[in-house]
A and B are shown apart, each in its own frame.
Chain A
Amino acid sequence: MSSARRVQQWATMTRKWHLYDATWQDPYKSAEVIVKYLTGRNKPIYAASNDTGDQVVIINTRDIALRGDDWKYNIYFHHTGYAKGASYTPAWEMHKKNPIYIMKYAIYTLLDKDLRRRRDMARLHLFPDSNVPPEVMSNVSSQIPQLRRVPKRLTEFSEEEIRNYPKLFDYPKNYIIR
């Protein structure tokens, strides 16, 4: 193979590192996107028998958002295998114990239930906040865009921004708000 073709081959077959910020994101919808990157289905060179998957680093998994009452009513079932070994853990308690678990499990259940699942999961790196080890962060070269926009809370606005924000109307100056 000539040097030019060798370079093209290496660049095509490379394994990329992507970053995903899970702040305020739905873990199940995010999992659909992330699974595509882990399996390599985002690439035109994908083939089931080939290993074309990429690595994904997910940060801020502590700040994910579940819909409605899911934090209260989503139950994670586990049985130890022994008598009286069943346990039912609501999502909020699971998240408190392990802030990575919900995101990880969402991706794990969405992957194909075959031998490639464990291999693809090994390429997933989750962190509860933005503290990522430098040896992992130095590999990252791209970012997967977030699925929903993160809203700016009122507490995050500075006083100057609030003062200068365009208003339709305002209370008169001598009006007392009760």
Chain B
Amino acid sequence: MKAKHLYIFERNNLAISRRCYKPMYVAPYLRELKRRKDVQLKKLGDFSTPRSKYIEWNLQAEIYAFGKRLGEEFDQELLKRAFTHKSYIQQELEQRKSLGIEDSALALEDNEEFIKKGDRIVSDTVAKYIKNALPRASTVFHKSLETYLCSTATLATSSNLIGSKDIILSNEYPPSEELLANTFKAIVFALEESSGIEKARQFVVDLLIVQIAHKDIYEIWNPKNPMGIVCEELESQKRALPESRLMRQTGGNTILGVFQVGLYSDRKLIGQ
């Protein structure tokens, strides 16, 4: 943690550097905090408690707020079921057994079925949306986007960002990516049952598909033979095969030389 920060502002070709001063006690105080935290971590290991273990946790209120925050109409029971995982029910049963309550008739159902049906809705919506949005792209490209969007990591990110991490009922904390992804699918199905398929589809579009908006496409789709793909596309469109030509260059004799190459099909520039 730096005690002083250097800010440089450029205005009208004048570089003005300013310094931010902190009181003398800040650095030693933060150092002591870190030392104590390190001691605690070494002794007890890395642990974190879920929000539900702290006081003033009202699950019903949280689930109601969750639905309202997203601007959707959820059936409360279905949404609660969507958050309940099998591991949680098993944990509860074991706890009851250990306490001696053998009559284990828990009024809780798990979300296994919700996950399966939600998965179908998610993959279906994603596939249709991509096909609609990029009709001229190849199926390989569509498939790569679909795999990326329906992957556990992407679903987990969406799930995290809508705040399901604290509400999930499971035996593990913090919830794994798979758990978060499954919860997302279950929520989608719960929404479909509560408000209809259209609302569920819109939910997937607004919260999952929107993740590719800021992504660099070549990080998702990196084909091994790009020239081959280009040739195939041009052939299918009955256009001439591509030729590459040097468009511009600078510093050709130096280590930092730049050569700009253009791809031409029948003397028309198709890429560079």
Closest to B218 in A: A2
In Å, the complex CA distance between A41 and B250 comes to: 19
Interface contact B251-A15, CB-CB below 8 Å: yes
* B247 to A: closest C-beta gap in Å: 11
Q: Does B44 contact A (CB under 8 A)?
A: no
* Inter-subunit contact A17/B250 (CB<8 Å): yes
| Contact residues in A for B216 (Cβ distance below 8 Å) | 2, 4-5
Q: Which stretch from A23-31, A137-145, A167-175 is at the chain B interface? A: A137-145
The A interface is mostly helix, strand or loop, or mixed, namely loop
Helix, strand, loop or mixed for chain B's interface?
A: mixed
CB neighbours of A135 from chain B (8 A): 253
Q: Which residues of A have CB within 8 Å of B260?
A: 11
Most buried by B among A5, A10, A141, A142: A141
Chain B residues, Cβ within 8 Å of A47: 10
Report if A138-B250 is in contact (Cβ < 8 Å); known contacts: A2-B218, A2-B219: no
Contact of A14 among B13, B222, B250 (CB under 8 A): B250
B133 at the interface (CB under 8 A from A): no
Let me know if A138 and B218 touch, CB within 8 A. no
Q: Which residues of B contact A140 (CB under 8 A)?
A: 250
Give bound CA distance, A143 to B160, whole Å.
54
What is the count of residue pairs linking A and B with beta-carbon distances less than 8 angstroms?
50
| Contact (A14, B253) CB under 8 Å given A2-B218, A48-B15 | no
> What's the Cα separation between A74 and B222 when bound, in Å?
64
For B218, B222, B251, the residue with the greatest tally of chain A CB atoms inside 10 Å of its CB is B251
- Which residues on B sit within 8 Å (CB–CB) of A136? 253
Q: How many residues on B have C-beta within 8 angstroms of the other chain's C-beta atoms?
A: 20
Interface positions of A from 1 to 45, Cβ below 8 Å from B = 2-5, 10-11, 14-17, 41
B26 within 8 A of A: no
**B-facing residues in A123-176 (Cβ within 8 Å):** 135-136, 138-142
Interface extent on A, as a size class? 20 to 34
Asked if residues A55 and B222 are in contact (CB atoms below 8 Å), the reply is no
In the complex, whether B241 has a CB less than 8 A from a CB of chain A is no
Residue of A nearest to B13 (CB): A41
Knowing A2-B216, A10-B258, say if A139 contacts B251 (CB, 8 Å). yes
B218 contact from A3, A49, A142, Cβ within 8 A? A3
Q: How far is the CB of B13 from chain A (nearest CB, A)?
A: 7
Please determine whether B251 and A16 come into contact, CB atoms closer than 8 angstroms: yes
The chain A residue sitting closest to B250, CB to CB, is A141
A139 close to B258 (CB less than 8 A):
no
- Contact: B258 with A14, CB < 8 Å? yes
Q: Which residue of A lies closest to B248 (CB)?
A: A141
Q: Across the two chains, which residue of chain B brings its CB closest to A3?
A: B218
Flag whether B249 is at the interface (Cβ < 8 A): yes
Contacts of B253 in A (CB 8 A): 135-136, 138-139
Interface flag for B12 (CB, 8 Å)? no
User: Can you give 20 contacting A-B residue pairs, CB < 8 Å?
Assistant: A2-B219, A2-B222, A4-B218, A5-B218, A10-B258, A11-B258, A11-B260, A15-B250, A16-B250, A17-B250, A17-B251, A41-B13, A55-B251, A139-B251, A139-B252, A139-B253, A140-B250, A141-B248, A141-B249, A141-B251
Listed in ascending order, the chain A residues whose CB lies under 8 Å from chain B are: 2-5, 10-11, 14-17, 41, 47-49, 55, 135-136, 138-142
Q: A17-B250, A138-B252 known; 4 other A-B pairs, CB under 8 Å?
A: A2-B219, A4-B218, A48-B8, A48-B10
The 6 closest A-B pairs by CB, nearest first: A2-B218, A141-B250, A14-B258, A4-B218, A2-B219, A139-B251
